Structure 1
């Protein structure tokens, strides 16, 4: 949908231009994750939001449309303010936005970005854009979930694999496109996942990465069967359906995935793949990826890997763990951070390398989160009134967890550790003159930092623990 910038907010924001103290000139706000499920957050997605929703200037047609909706909606419309915006700034919002470099992983309860108006006649804009800007919680949360899984899998690969760095980018595959509320969510969340991995079936993320992060091709996939392509052969011909997959996709060096639980997974693995089709798989020169898709994930994966080891054999790597020959397994049912850890623990305990398994994560990756997963907030912390900055904060006695920060805020980095610092008016550098790690990414309608996804991925990798 093409969004009218004036209407890309909440109704209650419309009347706020009349609510600030007289002589207010600037309002300074910040975004943080106040806690929740993760101790650290991977900052990502602001650039996409700015390009998609802030690049379009406000027009007179937008003003007319907004007035036609908001006045009968019951609100006072600031037509004079919006007309001044068009006349003075060409419809571009006079705001300066500073942010952590995308791909930064820092502790929660630190400012991730700050927003301040650059024209004193538009002090009310800083809060007005909260609705649109705070949606950055979604890609940050997805990127953080994905990174948590990245660290978990990486730990097991380092312990059990000879080539952990080469394998890691393809160990978690995004299956989430159908499980989200919109194509926009698929694009934004799918890109967030791609800061950590390169496997995806969410095509919207590839398109978005090209448009917003200058990445020609951000992710990869392989030919894969679904239940309909197997069961349409009818049960007596299940093996023929599998043979058809080998015939079309079993090329030297290739990978192809086949869901194998349409009827009896263990019979299919032991007898169809492991006996009748075994030599065809080996002779093809490809790697068959067997996909279980039902039952208890831990038990089913362990038994599937064990049967494949019995039928296809294994090599023992330099770490002392067994690696399947010619075949691998991908688990896409019931996959979440808890089940992934349990599956990997079980395989490790049974002497199998994490090289044998990849995961497909859908709704638990792109949809099973909300703004409260990491307790995101956008709060004003300072206002310049009559030429003097004053602290702005909330401190509710009913919930100290919602106490907000105060003053002009920035971020300092000391030996890789981040902390909140006070910054000075004008250039917003630290009060002692040191650099503010929140860099200016947007000013008065212009994007000042245009990162590539490749650069962001490199930044993410630099934080691997």
Structure 2
């Protein structure tokens, strides 16, 4: 299905061209997180939208289709305005988009994106793109922020209980593809997670990072079992199913993950892995990653590690925490969220189990259990030029002060402490505006590589 920016909109937007003051020639709008669940946000994803939707011109057929759709739908259609864009600008949208560098970690309640029309006859266009543009920003930014917050928690526990944080990039694995609402959602959200980590099973995410940010390979995975490949052997041959996994994939320097609770997790650990296959595991030169997949995550993880230590032994690191031998590790992918990661790691710490022993897989909580209100995203007009005079545009509802919007043409500056602050452009002075022009009139003006995005997020 061809994507038309004319139809990528809320219905009521089609009538707004008739609602602006006479003589309006330019409208400037901005996108921000107004707060929500996090104090900081990782800005990401705009480049994907620009490349996919804005670097391709509209056509006469797009206009005709939209005309028929909106007439049948019962709303006005600015046919004259769109034909003007087709004829004067060869179908490319006459707008300019400024944005923070992708990957930037900023305090919420700051401008991330600013949009303005570049043709005086298209003042209506700035707001028209809100639906598509806001969605293109809020979703990947929210996923990147959730992932970044998980990284901070895991990093803290590694620093407290492990000798090294070297394995941090692989401590949270993306299991979310099947729980996403669409393939495009999985691609966008999967790429957002990879800003912070390098482990993923969401192939769409690595393809998005490759196509839109030039990442040759942004994420990695390992061979892993699912319940069907274990249970197809039958309960009586469970040990044979496990042995086959080792035969097929366990070799020096390699990892293999095996779901181990198809029947009885404790039997699998105590008798199958810990007795029948113990020597095979130890001699393989690889690492078996045991995966529980049911029960209370906190209790299951700590007990799993405890039982594996009883069977395979452990060492005590320089910080006084116990570590499984290199041949055996655990991954928990069931019931994982930002909050359960913290709870599991806290429980492990209390039992003197190092965070080195565990990795996590997150699915729906990573890619799907977010919405626009997680970070209270909004796009609002902040300035309008009418008959040559700029004036502020803002809302300030007495019933919800949190929805008060910003006024004027905006700039983003760095504070002395490295944080960010939104100011009026007229008050910028000698300070550098952190907003970069990334799109103008059909052209991508600034392209970020995935390495640059990751470096920004890691600062």
* TM-score of the superposed pair, with normalisation by structure 1: 0.97
Show structure 1 runs of 5+ residues with no match: 425-429
Q: Which range is displaced more, 298-307 or 76-85?
A: 76-85
Provide the residue aligned with 2:123 in structure 1. Answer: 123
Structure 1 residues 179-204: Cα deviation after superposition (integer angstroms, max 9, x where no partner): 01000000000000000000000000
The aligned residue for residue 28 of structure 1 is 28
- 1:240-272 Cα shifts (integer Å, max 9, x gaps): 110001100111111000000011101110111
- Which residues in structure 2 correspond to 1:114-263 (within 5 Å)? 114-135=114-135, 136-164=137-165, 166-263=166-263
How many Å apart are 1:433 and its aligned residue? 4.2
Partner of 2:95: 95
- 2:388 is matched with which residue? 387
Alignment-derived partner of residue 427 in structure 1: none
> 2:175, 2:301 → 1: CA distance?
18
TM-score by length of 2: 0.98
SS in 2 for 1:116: strand
Aligned equivalent of 2:46? 46
Q: How many Å separate the matches in 1 of 2:20 and 2:56?
A: 27
Task: Show the 5 A alignment for 1:399-410.
Answer: 399-410=400-411
* TM-aligned CA deviation for residue 431 of structure 1: 3.8
- Who is 2:422 aligned against? 420
Aligned partners of 1:299, 1:256: CA distance in 2, in Å? 23
| TM-align CA RMSD | 0.9
**Equivalent residue, structure 2, for 1:451:** 448
- Residue by residue over 1:90-114, the C-alpha shift from the partner in whole angstroms, topping out at 9 and shown as x without a partner, is 1111111111101101111111110
Matched residue of 2:167: which SS?
A: helix
| Alignment match, 1:341 | 342
Please give the per-residue CA displacement for 1:285-307, whole angstroms capped at 9, x wherever unaligned: 11000000001111111111001
| CA distance in 2: counterparts of 1:272 and 1:397, whole angstroms | 65
The answer for unaligned runs of 5 or more in structure 2 is none
Residue 96 of structure 2 aligns to a residue whose secondary structure is: strand
Q: For this pair of structures, how many residues does the alignment match? A: 456
1:124-172, CA deviations, whole angstroms, 9 ceiling, x for partnerless residues? 00000001100110000000000110000000011111220x2100000
Encode CA deviations 1:223-246: one digit per residue, 9 max, x unaligned. Answer: 000000000100000001100011
